[in-house]
Homo-oligomer: A and B are copies of this chain.
Amino acid sequence: MSSVILPHAAIPKYYQLATILQGKIEAGEWAPRSPIPSERQLELMYDVSRPTIRQAIEYLITQGLLYREHGRGTFVSPEKLQKGLRELTSFTEDLVQRGIRPGQVIRSIERITPPEGVLQRLELPVGSTVIRIDRIRLGNETPIGLQVSYIALAPGQEITIEDMEKTGSLYRILEEKFNLIPTEADETLEVTLANREEANLLEINEGSPLLLSERLTFTQNRRPVEFVHILYRGDRYRYYTRLKR
C-alpha cells in the first residue's frame, strides 16, 4: 500500500491524507453516494488522530468531493458536484469542458492611469498607475470576448508580454512573481448591446446583444488586485457558476 502518512514531512498530515482520499475517489475506488470508511476506521488505517482525519475530510467537503450526514456517515459527492469553483469559473477550463479550444490574442500590455472609477474600486489614490492588459478571447479560433484587466501593481512591479506568453495565466504570474494569491472576487453580469468597435472586434453586427461581466478580485489579505471588464458574444458564450450555502 502506497498510502502511508509521513511524519515530520514538509506537507501537513491532514493534507497528505486528503490527497490520498481524493486519489481513491477519482480512481473510482469509492463510488459516488457510497460511504467512505468512518473516522475511527481511518484513524486505525492511517495512524493519525481523529481531529487530523476530520481536518482532511473538512477540506475535501469545501472542495465539493465529500458530504456528511450526522449519524450515517461521510459520502462521496455525485460526480457533477465534484468540480471545484476554480474550474467552473476559469474561462479556459470552461471552454475545455465544453470541447472548445480556448485561445487569446494579447492586444496590449501597458502601464497607464486608468479611469477614476477603476482607481476607486482598486482603492488606489487619484493619479496612480496600474497595468492594463487588453485581450481578445477565442473559442475554436473565433472571437468570443473582449477582456480588459487593470492590475494594481506599484511602479517597478511589471508584467511583460513574455510573462504572459510563457505561463499563459495572469493568476500564475501574480502568484509566482508577486506572491499575490487571488482568493475572492465580486462579479456582476448584465446585458448590453455592441457598439461599432466592439462589433468589429467580435465579428458581429452593431447592436447585437452582449454579456458584460465586471469583476473585482481580492488577494489573501483582502486587498483588491484586479478589476476586469469582459464583453462576451451573446450567441457564443454562457456563464457558469456554483453557489454554496
Q: Which residues of A contact B (CB under 8 A)?
A: 33, 51, 62, 64, 67, 69, 75, 77-78, 80-81, 84-86, 89, 183-193, 209-211, 218, 220-222, 234-235, 237-245
Contact = CB atoms under 8 A, between A and B. Distances in A.
A184 B244 contact: yes
Contact of A189 (B69, B184, B211, B221): B211
A66 B67 CA distance: 25
A52 to B, nearest CB: 12
B242 A186 contact: yes
B238 A187 contact: no
B222 A78 contact: yes
A192 B238 CA distance: 11
A238 B213 CA distance: 10
Nearest to A83: B186
Interface centre among A187, A237, A244 (most CB of B within 10 A): A244
B191 A234 contact: yes
A33 to B, nearest CB: 8
B240 A187 contact: yes
